[in-house]
Structure 1
């Protein structure tokens, strides 16, 4: 009986194999995009009209007046400028913290009241907001329950949801208490529901392996975890970076004080998130070691939007004064030679949406003193290099076919980014209109 079943199974495989082989050899969709003006993100300049030939989800060729291959679909964007799909290197798709809430309140709502399913469904809506704003890739850094970010990533990759390409971390590796306010009682184990608490050097290494085994593409760690006073030891920080490096995975460090930033940089992290209080000496160390900074500072417009719900809205001058420290830090980092990658860190309610918040963060960078071109590079070329994928943030052969069409020249001012006309991710139009920029 077993031999007959085995023979039947072999027959089915033999019959199915040609079908599988034919599917694997099926021609990839071919698309020719005609751009009126193309942004070279590496050089930091517009290079004029270009044609972009796409096969499947990758760019095959970029040139002038390319011939249209037989059977190709043509997307006419000659009335618009085309930039690489934008990248936000610090997002929290699964988190929203309302005014007056502590993170323990948020966790209680997410874990006990609403649950994982509701939380993931809400995140799916935020994911769509990113691509509608021209952000085709994000790096999601924790505060996402027990790997809900990786579940969301899979649903988008499988085509179940419309959203950006996600590089996710899973729960951040943190000292005791995580970022929760001190809680004498935690009956629902909220801390461990949001963070992976590290309890020693070997446990730090094990935590890295656990995250990678679940599918994490980046390790998020908290050398410090304000408002908690707890900190990872220098040995634990080094163990996390060492183990991640063994597996070829970058490390993002949430660090706000100069001491914790320096410890993380000396350990060899890939990026520092926030760096609110950082000395020029530490910035110079970051530059020498090639560590990126993700400055998570809002624009003035965002800050004013946040304060509108306060019982008493502060004067505009007071809001601007509060933002000045972050602006100064960004420009000190730029002068020191630190590489800058866009990170919005938006997790408060923001009327225009999450993707619009990422774009507005770029406005904040310009308000601080970056040129529009430098701000654009932080969300394309630099962010792609930070994520460690040569296919991101550029328009060139073998890169992902992620393109955004806007009216006007975004290197002269970022206002064109406010209304993307066409958004292409992996060779497919995912937002806007196909013919929005066609010549009459």
Structure 2
């Protein structure tokens, strides 16, 4: 148990609090308010003149799955033996001792979504984890996966054309995805019409796709270019699954369509070189364009594409291009939590939520500010 006193609190609920206190008990925020009584024996942290905010969240990473500095031995991000692999689970590849996870927690990124890469048309299942822990199962924020990775554009067709396999075009990528969901839909129909469970052979892959069709899993679609974004939207409407657009590099071109279809976006990595055609229009102006259109969005580093600790810098650069600061902070806290489906636990400072709390000595988006305290589930982070 501990209490943070006299803090300027960025709650990320739309109502900030000046000079108030936060009481933490059993890893949760127990109370927020002015002049709280410090329970006997409770550690007291004086946060006078300091800024307190929720732990930051990156909703699209490969932390623990694509380890830093371990080359082939630590690269478990893409199973490039077939383009449709929904059955794969990132949980089975997470190494809690990846140095990227240490970088995340010591720089205030307290929770992330980590998952497969974009080599396959359907790549597998992503998980929400805290960045502190030594056993992957104990780092999970939800036992079940929070997303199904799909990919459009350059990556799948480049990889499989080099193997002389399909897809080698965007048409084939879309076709393979449609075929997978069509077969899963037919499989579901047979299960629903079956007299008993034994009259239809269970299918491991189709069981995962069924969850997406039933909106138990969000399809998180890698799509940079505007036309690929629209293809993802088109297929999601055909099959009725919940969609988020990941990367959304040319989202500024189709912001109206994203708003019309109520599809959120995870933008980034924007602080990277234009290493392929899809990235030619990458810009920190995209978040502002999405905000202006009313699209819910978050910001990502896509770690290890760019280091996880640059997440607040990416938010700050979006502010420099016209995004309001409050919206930039939302993009790495509550918006990220809502898009990831973990906003019941994190993303804001509210009573009953996990005590993922950061104490800054200045502006959280300034590179000159220091983190005086980091707490994950009420435990102080030192390394």
Provide the secondary structure at the position in 1 that maps to 2:381: strand
Q: Say if 2:349 is the partner of 1:370.
A: no
Q: Corresponding residue for 1:291? A: 263
Contact 1:91–1:140 at 8 Å: present in 2 too?
Answer: yes
1:19-418 to 2 correspondences below 5 Å: 30-43=1-14, 46-93=16-63, 94-95=65-66, 121=95, 124-143=98-117, 153=129, 172-173=149-150, 177=156, 180=159, 182-184=161-163, 200-204=180-184, 243-244=211-212, 246=214, 248-266=216-234, 267=237, 269-278=242-251, 280=253, 282-299=254-271, 325-348=282-305, 354-388=307-341, 389-410=343-364, 414-415=366-367
Structure 1: 5+ residue runs without aligned partners? 1-29, 187-196, 215-239, 308-321, 433-440
Question: How far, CA to CA, are the matches of 1:164 and 1:358 in structure 2?
Answer: 21
Provide the secondary structure at the position in 2 that maps to 1:431: coil
Q: 1:178 to 1:359 in 2, by over 3 A?
A: farther
Q: 1:327 to 1:400 in 2, by over 3 A?
A: same
Contact 1:273–1:293 at 8 Å: present in 2 too?
Answer: yes
Question: How far, CA to CA, are the matches of 2:204 and 2:311 in structure 1?
Answer: 30
Q: 1:429 to 1:337 in 2, by over 3 A?
A: same
Question: How far, CA to CA, are the matches of 2:308 and 2:252 in structure 1?
Answer: 31
Question: How far, CA to CA, are the matches of 1:163 and 1:391 in structure 2?
Answer: 13
Name the TM-score, length of structure 2 as normaliser. Answer: 0.69
Once the two structures are TM-superposed, the CA of residue 253 in structure 1 deviates from its matched residue by 1.4
Question: How far, CA to CA, are the matches of 1:399 and 1:430 in structure 2?
Answer: 18
Q: 1:58 to 1:122 in 2, by over 3 A?
A: closer
Once the two structures are TM-superposed, the CA of residue 396 in structure 1 deviates from its matched residue by 0.8
Once the two structures are TM-superposed, the CA of residue 153 in structure 1 deviates from its matched residue by 5.0
Question: How far, CA to CA, are the matches of 2:330 and 2:288 in structure 1?
Answer: 15
Structure 2: 5+ residue runs without aligned partners? 81-89, 166-175, 189-202
Q: Corresponding residue for 2:377? A: 426
Q: Corresponding residue for 1:232? A: none
Question: How far, CA to CA, are the matches of 1:55 and 1:65 in structure 2?
Answer: 17
- Please report the RMSD computed on the Cα atoms of aligned residues, expressed in angstroms: 4.5
Question: How far, CA to CA, are the matches of 1:378 and 1:279 in structure 2?
Answer: 16
Q: 1:271 to 1:247 in 2, by over 3 A?
A: closer
Between structures 1 and 2, the one with greater helix share: 1
Deviations 1:55-114 (A, max 9, x none): 21211111011112234333333342111000111111122699xx9x9xx779999xxx
Contact 2:24–2:378 at 8 Å: present in 1 too?
Answer: yes
Name the TM-score, length of structure 1 as normaliser. Answer: 0.61
Contact 1:156–1:164 at 8 Å: present in 2 too?
Answer: no
Q: Corresponding residue for 2:198? A: none
Question: How far, CA to CA, are the matches of 2:12 and 2:282 in structure 1?
Answer: 28
Contact 2:57–2:112 at 8 Å: present in 1 too?
Answer: yes
